[in-house]
Chain A
C-alpha cells in the first residue's frame, strides 16, 4: 500500500448543519481502527474544509488518492465505515454514494476567486493556507510594492465593493490614503445582515486568512496600523475561526510589529455586533464599534474623511477583501478579464429558495440569471414554474421570470429595479405570493429601522400597515397608488441606505406583479394561496374517504363527519391553519 490519501469533509455552514463534524469524527475513528493513520494518511491530510458549495447535498466528502479526486454526497456517520473499508483499504469507491451529474454541472459555469481554496484547505490551520501560496501576496506587497502601486493595481483590476453598493475599492483606498492623518483605520464589515445571504460567513469560516491578508494589504495601502473586524455574534463559528486565524498570523509574524522585518506594523481586533441590521451601514457600524447605539449620521463627512474615533477609515466587505490576495498575486489584468466592462471579476451568491441545487456559488459577473438558476441551480424544485428571483435582500427587488436573461451585473440589476446587494439570491416559484414577500421585507425593514429619521421610521410603518391591510382582504382601491407615492417619498427623504432602499421590494413587486395586488384588493383572493385571510378550505366529496385524519388534526374542531363518509368543514369555525390540507393523503382538501 503506497498511497497518498487526502480526505476532506465539508464543514461549511451547510456541512455542519448536516452533521459534518460527526462524519469527520467517524472517519478519524475508522481510519485509526484500520491502521491507516500516519502510514497512508499523513499528518493533516484528514481534515475539515470550508464550504464546498453544493449545500443541498451535504455532507460532501472528497477523497483524493494519488491525485485522483472522488466526491461523495449525503454522507452520514454510519456510512463512513464502508467507505473506509472499500475505498481506502480495497481501493474501490462506493459507487452508489458518489455524486451525480448535477454535481458536476453545478460547478461548470463557476469561477472561484473569493471562494478559491474554500473547500480545499483546513481553515483552522495556517500552514494549510501557506502551502497554497497563502501570505505570498503579503510578502510581495511589503517587499516589492509601494502603497501607491497597490492602490493602482486594485484600481486597475476594477474591483468594486461586494457588500452591495459597488463603490470602486481602489478609489476608496486612494481617497483614504490622500487624507492627512496620523492614525487611520481599516474595518472589515462582516455584519452580514441580509437575510438569505451567507457568503461572508462561508468565506470567513473557509479561508479566514485571506480576509486577514486583504485587511493587511489594505492597511498598508492607506497607511493604517490597526484594523477592526465587525462581525455578527450570530456566527459563533466564524468568530472562533477568525480569532484562531489572527492568533496564528501573529505567531507567524504576519500581524504585529515590523511585519516580515519591514517597518510596517499592523494588528486586527474583533468587535462583535449585537444584532442590528442598520449596522451594515458604514456610519452606524462605526458608532457601534465605538460602543454607541448604531445609528447612522448624515454624510459628508464620509468615513474616509472622518470615521472611527474621528479618524480616516476605510470599510470593506468580507468578500471584497478576500479577492485582494488573488488580485495581487495574479495581476489586475487577470482579474479584469472576468466579468463585464463595468463589473469586473466574480461575485459570490447564496442560491436558495425553491431551486434544486441550493448552495454557495461564485460566477463571473455578466452571467445571466437563467444560467444561474437552470444550469447551476438545476432548475426549480418539483419542476414547478419560476415566478421571480429576489436579489439584494431587503434593499433589493424581485425580478420577474420573463426577465431572467438579463446579465447579472451592478448596472443591469439596478435598471430592473433591484440591486446586486451582498449576494442573496432567492428563487421563488408559483407557490410564493409576491404581496406577501413585499410585506415580509417591509416587516423586516420596519423593525430594523433605527428610528432616527422620520421618513424611514414612520414611512416603513405605514407601508407595512397598507400591505397588511391588503393581504388580510381589507385593501382599498387607492392603496396601490398610495404605496407608490409613499415609497418614492421614503426613498427621497431617508437619511441612510436602509430607508433609501427599503421601498424597493414594494416598488418592484408593484411594477411586475400588479395583477397579484389587484387580485388581493379587488377580488379578495391570493392567487398563490398563501395569504391566510383570503383562503377558504373545502373538502372535495368525491375524493374524501372519511378517514378522519383531518378531523383529528383540526385545532378548532371545524371538521365534522362520520367515519368512511365524506367530511365537511364549517367555514365559520375554520381558522385556516391548513393542518387538514397538509395531513390529507387523498388530496381531498381544496385550498383557494
Chain B
C-alpha cells in the first residue's frame, strides 16, 4: 500500500494537486477510501484527518466503505422520477436484498446507488449497470438484467 500511496503523493506534488484530487486518486487506486490511506496522507502533509473526512463526506463521489463488484445505479433525475424511477429503486433494493443503511450485498457482488441525473433523460427511466446505460427500464427488465449479472458471476 505504501508504494501505491507514494505514487499518488508524487503525482500530487508534480501536478499542483489538492486534497480533492488526492482523494480522487486514492479512490481510483483502491476503489474506495481506506482509512489507512487518509491517515498516511494526513501525516505526510500535516493536514488533520478531519479535513480529509470533511471533504470525503461532503461529495457524493467518495466512498468510505469497499464497494461491490458490480455497480447498479438508478437515475432519480426529474425525467426519470416522473416516469417511475421510484419503482425501479424499490425493485433493485428488493431483488438485491438490501436494507436502508446497507447499499452493498453481503457477498460483495453488488452495490446499489442512486444518482441525481446521468443526462440521458430521453430514455427515462434509466438504470446503469457497470456504467452501461439501460433506457426505458421496467421493474421486470431490471430483475432480468440483475439475474443475468448474477449468472455471469457464478
Contacts and interface: CB of A to CB of B under 8 A. Distances in A.
B78 A195 contact: yes
A274 B62 contact: yes
A198 B120 contact: yes
A194 B131 contact: no
Interface string A171-215: 000000000000000000000111111100110000000000000
B18 A291 contact: yes
A223 B113 CA distance: 43
A128 to B, nearest CB: 23
B58 A291 contact: no
Interface in B37-66: 54-55, 58-62
A276 B59 contact: yes
Which bracket fits the contact residues of B? Answer: 35 or more
Contacts of A288: 20
12 contacts: A17-B122, A193-B116, A195-B78, A195-B79, A198-B117, A274-B60, A292-B55, A293-B54, A294-B58, A353-B124, A358-B122, A426-B78
Interface string B65-101: 0000000000011111111000100100010000000
Contacts of A450: 58
A276 B78 contact: no
Interface string A401-439: 000000000000000000000001010100010000100
B122 A291 contact: no
Contact of B19 (A198, A292, A358, A393): A292
Nearest to A205: B119
Contacts of B126: 17
Closest 5 CB pairs of A and B: A291-B18, A55-B122, A198-B119, A275-B60, A195-B77
Interface of A: 13-14, 16-18, 55-56, 58, 192-198, 201-202, 233-236, 272-277, 288, 290-295, 350, 352-354, 358-359, 390, 393, 424, 426, 428, 432, 437, 440-441, 444, 448, 450, 555, 577-578
B82 A432 contact: yes
Interface in B118-139: 118-124, 126, 131, 133, 135
A276 B60 contact: yes
A235 B116 CA distance: 12
B60 A17 contact: no
Contacts of A358: 79, 121-122, 124
B125 to A, nearest CB: 11
Interface string B1-42: 000000000000000011111011000000000000000000
B61 A233 contact: yes
B121 A350 contact: yes
Contact of B79 (A274, A426, A578): A426
B149 interface: no
A578 B81 CA distance: 16
Nearest to A194: B117
Contact of B77 (A196, A577, A578): A196
A353 B83 contact: yes
Contacts of A293: 54-55, 58
Give the interface centre of B23, B55, B59 by most chain A CB atoms within 10 Å.
B59
B122 A359 contact: yes
A276 B58 contact: yes
Nearest to A192: B119
Given A16-B133, A234-B115, A272-B24, A424 B78 contact: yes
B77 A274 contact: no
Nearest to A53: B122
A272 B119 CA distance: 17
